[in-house]
Amino acid sequence: MSLRHAVLGLLSSGPASGYDLLKIFELSLANVWPATQSQLYSELGRLADAGFVAVAAEGPRGRKEYAITDAGRAELRHWMTEVEPTPFNRSDMLLRVFFLGELDAEEARAYLRGRAEAADRRHRGLAELREVVAKGDDPLSVYGLMALEWGLRFAAVQRDWAAWAERELDRIRTPEDRREDQG
């Protein structure tokens, strides 16, 4: 139930409407905690019922600006400092690795190669983003930068792991051929 805390976290730096929050979710938070419009509005409703946020102002077009309350801030702090993060999540990429034996050698190689390439593309994309940020064109908070660095390292490790696994696959699958060569 972290959508709730994502919303509280965003509201902790100032009031915003559901629409404003949606923009943030689509941009900076998209890779960390994606959320859709219907999820956001209903979560804001629940948060208001629970007293963690309140409508601070109403604007044109039915706009409602939500502000975090003291109770909300307390809840956020509690989650940040007391609740243990989940160590890891589901990964359909890794799930496929378990079943790679179902494919023939060529297909398995192709899969790992594909993963390495995708990770490499992501790595290059993030590196570019870091360049842009470094030039100061599009400032990012210290914490945004930390998340960016995480993404960069994560992409690199995935790329390198996939390349390693591909070599490993060759090492495993070729002994029979080698024996044939020698026999």
Partner DNA sequence: TGGAGACATGTCAACAGTGGAAGGTAAGCT
Partner DNA sequence: AGCTTACCTTCCACTGTTGACATGTCTCCA
Give the residues lining the site for DNA (CB under 7 A).
1-4, 17-20, 22, 34-39, 41-42, 44-45, 59-64, 90
Within 8 A by CB and 6+ apart from 80, the residues are 5
CA atoms within 13 A on the CB side of 74: 6
The alpha-carbon radius of gyration of the chain (Å, integer) is 23
Q: Of 9-38, which residues contact a copy of itself (CB under 8 A)?
A: 9, 12-13, 28-29, 31-34
Task: Closer to DNA by CB, 38 or 182: give it.
Answer: 38
Q: Is 170 helix (H, G, I), strand (E, B) or coil?
A: helix
Least spacing, CB of residue 18 vs a copy of itself, in Å: 19
- What does the block give as tokens for 46? 């629940």
Per-residue x/- track, 160-179, a copy of itself (CB under 8 A): xx--xx--xx--x-------
User: DSSP E strands: which ranges in the chain?
Assistant: 53-58, 64-68
Does 136 interact with a copy of itself (rule: CB under 8 A)?
no
Task: Closer to DNA by CB, 5 or 159: give it.
Answer: 5
Q: Of 41-80, which residues contact a copy of itself (CB under 8 A)?
A: 73, 76-77, 79-80
Number of H helices, E strands in the chain: 8, 2
Nearest to 79 by CA among 135, 12, 25: 12
Least spacing, CB of residue 61 vs a copy of itself, in Å: 28
For CA atoms 104, 107, 112, 113, give the dihedral sign: positive
Q: Which residues bind a copy of itself (CB under 8 A)?
A: 2, 5-6, 9, 12-13, 28-29, 31-34, 73, 76-77, 79-81, 84-103, 107, 110-111, 115, 118, 122, 141-144, 146-147, 149-150, 153-154, 156-157, 160-161, 164-165, 168-169, 172
